[in-house]
Chain A
């Protein structure tokens, strides 16, 4: 608490004009934090039993949902959605709820550490001055082109800070990566948009306004792009308020949580998505009449039916459904894009929308609105770009690697060789909040605050019609001796001097943030406006960010989306085995949830398994192979192998197996470590034309091991496949 300016004064100031609001402004630059006090000892500004609420932004994924955090005596008690934020309108997902188990996780990195040897547990504590000196030396004593930053998909303000630093000094531009982006195939989506609409942007699908939704693999109710927003859209699709209850058809080889909600679930043969989309397009165009568009000319629906394993009558019925609706919408996503022909799948499915002519219309396809302080869409690095980066590391072209917000040793496929390449990097500095795999391989760990202890902002990339910049502020004071990475970089840049110092001429992170946000002050269409910066920033914190009031989604220029050839080739699969392999992101854990005990204890929405990894296998197939529930099998791919217990899953093709991604940590705290397996160990280095990993383009072998590992499930095993009914056991 500053001596000059008490928190109480600040609140008084911030309360001007907002006296009726229940949300307090939070911590101003002069008095940043509320001290955590024993419950018995009330600070003067609080009453016994009264809560204080702060608006901030969720950091569990990059979507940028607004949160209101309830705090009591400087402790964060509960997160709720920020009802004002146009992206999530007061709602959260399970991970947003459990973010508190990250904040108060018993295994956080508690202070700056120097590691005696990479990969080892032996560390020495440092003080922050020494840590900042290490960073300054790393910046100063290496050539700029030998310094690299690897960053996660959130937060954006830090990315902007490092980008500015890189631009001014000639350092490598920061590279962003996240496993979610990889499994979403974001690069493929934006490349397909570029090819079809002439603009590399993230498409926005207005599910809520549609009448019929065909989703080719898109797991939009789970982790895809912006799950809270898409779930709201799905509710809109179903609710029959002003229109008929909308229909939903999902095409995928393994029933996802999203697919479980479909009226019709179509288990097509993996790799035939483009062919099926084009065949449906052709049949639908025939129904609609007129000239046959070029994109569908060379497709034979009978051939499509035989290759995909879907009956011709089913294809015709689906085409009738699509053609007969005024609000049909087709969405490409997920494993359908993570194949050798992923780009063609994305183009074929996007082009299907031309039949219902829904571009830029309610219930149709838009290009996402850019965030208020954004000039063009920036996508995270594709797996292929990561491979190039890893090669640079291996060639010794990177001397210093800074890592923030991403855990490449867990999130990248092992086959990409990040672990081996990191040995050629002289110095690795991690800013990890948790002791993850990459932090264990780093020479230094300079822990950043948890997201709920942090300043910042996140640009909402998609999911909201309005441009949204979600703002973050500390809702509690830092629990441990951590420091904001932005503050560390600013201090280190000052120490390094020269172009570094002039690139970041800020007192601290907050001053940097003010500089970035102040440009929005003069806008007329904004959610907040104020005559001066301190008031504007107070509002920015109070409301949890800034958004424009108008719908700024862009109608794609899709005049000749169908007047082009789209390849109907079936995808190629790598490897020898007899099973198609579908890795999917765990809907509850995602890429970074495994260290939160209540996320571990949430049952998987489809299998109800908790605390472990399983492989899903069709019961018929398993029966033929003599495999039962909980039998441990060895899965062998061209890139690796792992052992995992079987879950007999009734909604998966007999020629397909599936493993959730999210577990299999070798570090990352007590709740995550040595639990389950990581399917990224099985993935080879195959990419689609857009550079995304062909993660669903592998074939694998399944071998019995003879071992058993009972999975913890919420569902009862009684009566499942005869168990407990007196015949088998």
Chain B
């Protein structure tokens, strides 16, 4: 867990060569936009559904969304390759320094961007400052009538009104795998576990793993020449690599 003294943001040089710990590679050429990852994320992470009106105001609580844009005009119109977008777990995250409550801090151990729900006071500065627009705010206590709460994942906190939330790279799964490996006296093996979105993806478009391990699948893939990181020029050092369409 990061302490105040760890948060010397100014020491991180923008654009510096940076290796995170956990990362993802997403192949947009094979992503079909089917929303299985979105549903899987919602089920794994106890996301609230907000209903028609609030979702119309852009308040839906998707931690991962699939972007598609239009290019050209009929009949030469094309849909851009589907782009699953979630928290990029930036190495130098723009959301972190603006939080007055230290609710969104950097985990030194996991190199992830954390969201500490019980510190969050709901200023929404972080969402305002996120260039990827991947944070969602609990505008209400959304109803989840009985017996729906039976489905809630006991490993994940249920959030209340006034709290910001976002993709955690399924940190509960990371911890579970680490605990299991530790109890068996070994390291976590690449591919031993994965995030809910990657596990569900019928096209296998999402690969998750250790980017600091050059042998891992995700590192091998990220080396491919056509990989890009979104808004890299902002110096955010994102840990998600995208392959654009073919």
For window 64-89 of A, CB contacts with B under 8 Å fall at 72, 75-81, 88
Highest count of chain A CB atoms <10 Å: which of B44, B51, B70, B203: B203
Q: What are the residues of chain B within 8 A of A97 when measuring CB–CB?
A: 36, 39-40, 42-43, 200
Nearest to B203 among chain A residues (CB) is: A235
Given A92-B40, A257-B34, do A77 and B199 touch, yes or no (CB 8 Å)?
no
Which of A228, A257, A599 is close to B33, meaning CB atoms less than 8 Å apart? A257
Given A611-B51, A650-B74, A711-B56, do A105 and B148 touch, yes or no (CB 8 Å)?
yes
Across the interface, do A257 and B40 meet the contact criterion of CB distance under 8 Å? no
Across the interface, do A610 and B154 meet the contact criterion of CB distance under 8 Å? no
Nearest to A714 among chain B residues (CB) is: B65
Q: What are the residues of chain A within 8 A of B32 when measuring CB–CB?
A: 221, 231, 234, 257-258, 261, 605
CB distance from B79 to the nearest CB of A (A): 4
- Cα A75 to Cα B149 with chains together (Å): 10
Across the interface, do B56 and A598 meet the contact criterion of CB distance under 8 Å? no
Given A88-B202, A94-B34, do A255 and B40 touch, yes or no (CB 8 Å)?
no
Across the interface, do B78 and A265 meet the contact criterion of CB distance under 8 Å? yes
Nearest to A230 among chain B residues (CB) is: B202
Across the interface, do A80 and B154 meet the contact criterion of CB distance under 8 Å? no
Across the interface, do B34 and A605 meet the contact criterion of CB distance under 8 Å? yes
Q: What are the residues of chain B within 8 A of A618 when measuring CB–CB?
A: 74
Across the interface, do A91 and B150 meet the contact criterion of CB distance under 8 Å? no
Across the interface, do B68 and A260 meet the contact criterion of CB distance under 8 Å? yes
Across the interface, do B73 and A610 meet the contact criterion of CB distance under 8 Å? no
A-B pair number, CB within 8 angstroms? 188
B55 contacts the other chain (CB 8 A): yes
CB distance from B41 to the nearest CB of A (A): 9
CB distance from A262 to the nearest CB of B (A): 9
Given A227-B34, A605-B68, A618-B74, do A232 and B202 touch, yes or no (CB 8 Å)?
yes
Which of B29, B62, B65, B154 is close to A39, meaning CB atoms less than 8 Å apart? B154
CB distance from B176 to the nearest CB of A (A): 9
Across the interface, do B70 and A650 meet the contact criterion of CB distance under 8 Å? yes
For window 24-55 of B, CB contacts with A under 8 Å fall at 29-30, 32-36, 38-40, 42-44, 47, 49-53, 55
CB distance from B39 to the nearest CB of A (A): 4
Q: What are the residues of chain B within 8 A of A597 when measuring CB–CB?
A: 49, 148
A114 contacts the other chain (CB 8 A): no
Across the interface, do B147 and A605 meet the contact criterion of CB distance under 8 Å? no
Nearest to A247 among chain B residues (CB) is: B246
- Cα A602 to Cα B65 with chains together (Å): 9
B114 contacts the other chain (CB 8 A): no
Q: B90-119 interface mask toward A, CB cutoff 8 Å, 1 = contact, 0 = none?
A: 000000000000000000000000000000
Which of A39, A106, A653, A712 is close to B148, meaning CB atoms less than 8 Å apart? A106
CB distance from B34 to the nearest CB of A (A): 6
Across the interface, do A235 and B30 meet the contact criterion of CB distance under 8 Å? yes
Across the interface, do A106 and B147 meet the contact criterion of CB distance under 8 Å? yes
Across the interface, do B43 and A598 meet the contact criterion of CB distance under 8 Å? yes
CB distance from A705 to the nearest CB of B (A): 20
Given A76-B151, A227-B202, A605-B33, do A598 and B49 touch, yes or no (CB 8 Å)?
yes
Contact residues on A (Cβ < 8 Å of other chain), bracket:
35 or more
- Cα A172 to Cα B113 with chains together (Å): 62
Across the interface, do A606 and B38 meet the contact criterion of CB distance under 8 Å? no
Across the interface, do B79 and A106 meet the contact criterion of CB distance under 8 Å? no
B220 contacts the other chain (CB 8 A): no
- Cα A104 to Cα B150 with chains together (Å): 7
- Cα A267 to Cα B77 with chains together (Å): 10
Query: Per DSSP, are chain B's interface residues mostly helix, strand or loop, or mixed?
Result: loop
Highest count of chain B CB atoms <10 Å: which of A227, A605, A608, A716: A605
Contact residues on B (Cβ < 8 Å of other chain), bracket:
35 or more
Across the interface, do A104 and B147 meet the contact criterion of CB distance under 8 Å? yes
Q: What are the residues of chain B within 8 A of A103 when measuring CB–CB?
A: 151
Given A232-B204, A267-B75, do A651 and B70 touch, yes or no (CB 8 Å)?
yes
- Cα A77 to Cα B70 with chains together (Å): 37
Across the interface, do A260 and B79 meet the contact criterion of CB distance under 8 Å? yes
Across the interface, do B35 and A94 meet the contact criterion of CB distance under 8 Å? yes
Across the interface, do B35 and A605 meet the contact criterion of CB distance under 8 Å? yes
B201 contacts the other chain (CB 8 A): yes
A129 contacts the other chain (CB 8 A): no
Across the interface, do B66 and A601 meet the contact criterion of CB distance under 8 Å? no
A703 contacts the other chain (CB 8 A): no
Across the interface, do A232 and B203 meet the contact criterion of CB distance under 8 Å? yes
Nearest to B144 among chain A residues (CB) is: A597
Across the interface, do A712 and B52 meet the contact criterion of CB distance under 8 Å? yes
- Cα A235 to Cα B26 with chains together (Å): 13
Q: A100-120 interface mask toward B, CB cutoff 8 Å, 1 = contact, 0 = none?
A: 110111100000000000000
- Cα A267 to Cα B73 with chains together (Å): 13
- Cα A91 to Cα B40 with chains together (Å): 11
Which of B49, B73, B82, B150 is close to A650, meaning CB atoms less than 8 Å apart? B73
Q: What are the residues of chain A within 8 A of B62 when measuring CB–CB?
A: 603, 714
Q: What are the residues of chain A within 8 A of B128 when measuring CB–CB?
A: none
A377 contacts the other chain (CB 8 A): no
Highest count of chain B CB atoms <10 Å: which of A92, A105, A712: A712
Q: What are the residues of chain B within 8 A of A650 when measuring CB–CB?
A: 70, 73-74, 77
Nearest to A103 among chain B residues (CB) is: B151
Given A78-B44, A91-B201, A104-B151, do A221 and B52 touch, yes or no (CB 8 Å)?
no
- Cα A711 to Cα B57 with chains together (Å): 10
B185 contacts the other chain (CB 8 A): no
CB distance from B165 to the nearest CB of A (A): 15
Across the interface, do A712 and B70 meet the contact criterion of CB distance under 8 Å? no
A392 contacts the other chain (CB 8 A): no
Q: What are the residues of chain A within 8 A of B205 when measuring CB–CB?
A: 235
Q: What are the residues of chain A within 8 A of B66 when measuring CB–CB?
A: 603, 605
B153 contacts the other chain (CB 8 A): yes
Across the interface, do A231 and B60 meet the contact criterion of CB distance under 8 Å? no
A533 contacts the other chain (CB 8 A): no
CB distance from A74 to the nearest CB of B (A): 9
CB distance from B200 to the nearest CB of A (A): 5
Nearest to B65 among chain A residues (CB) is: A714
- Cα A77 to Cα B45 with chains together (Å): 10
Across the interface, do A91 and B49 meet the contact criterion of CB distance under 8 Å? no
Highest count of chain B CB atoms <10 Å: which of A96, A619, A650: A650
Across the interface, do B145 and A587 meet the contact criterion of CB distance under 8 Å? no
Across the interface, do B147 and A479 meet the contact criterion of CB distance under 8 Å? yes
Across the interface, do B202 and A98 meet the contact criterion of CB distance under 8 Å? no
A523 contacts the other chain (CB 8 A): no
A713 contacts the other chain (CB 8 A): yes
- Cα A379 to Cα B47 with chains together (Å): 39
A245 contacts the other chain (CB 8 A): yes
Q: What are the residues of chain A within 8 A of B51 when measuring CB–CB?
A: 601, 611
Given A49-B154, A650-B77, A651-B77, do A610 and B60 touch, yes or no (CB 8 Å)?
yes
A588 contacts the other chain (CB 8 A): yes
B146 contacts the other chain (CB 8 A): yes
Q: B1-43 interface mask toward A, CB cutoff 8 Å, 1 = contact, 0 = none?
A: 0000000000000000000000000000110111110111011
CB distance from B58 to the nearest CB of A (A): 8
CB distance from A272 to the nearest CB of B (A): 15
Across the interface, do A712 and B56 meet the contact criterion of CB distance under 8 Å? yes
- Cα A610 to Cα B51 with chains together (Å): 9
Q: What are the residues of chain A within 8 A of B39 when measuring CB–CB?
A: 94-95, 97-98, 598-599, 602
Sample 28 A-B pairs with CB under 8 A, ordered by A number: A72-B154, A77-B153, A78-B153, A79-B43, A81-B200, A92-B202, A97-B40, A97-B42, A98-B42, A98-B43, A231-B202, A234-B203, A238-B246, A260-B33, A261-B32, A267-B74, A600-B52, A602-B35, A605-B32, A605-B33, A605-B68, A610-B60, A611-B51, A650-B73, A650-B74, A651-B70, A651-B79, A713-B56
- Give 8 A-B pairs besides A231-B202, A238-B29 with Cβ atoms closer than 8 angstroms: A78-B43, A79-B43, A92-B40, A104-B147, A235-B203, A601-B42, A602-B38, A652-B74
Task: Report A's interface with B, CB cutoff 8 A.
Answer: 36, 39, 49, 72, 75-81, 88, 90-98, 100-101, 103-106, 221-222, 227-228, 231-232, 234-235, 238-240, 245, 255, 257-258, 260-261, 265, 267, 479, 587-588, 597-603, 605-606, 608, 610-612, 618-620, 650-654, 675, 710-714, 716
Pairs of residues from A and B, 4 with the lowest C-beta to C-beta distance, nearest first: A712-B56, A611-B52, A260-B79, A97-B39
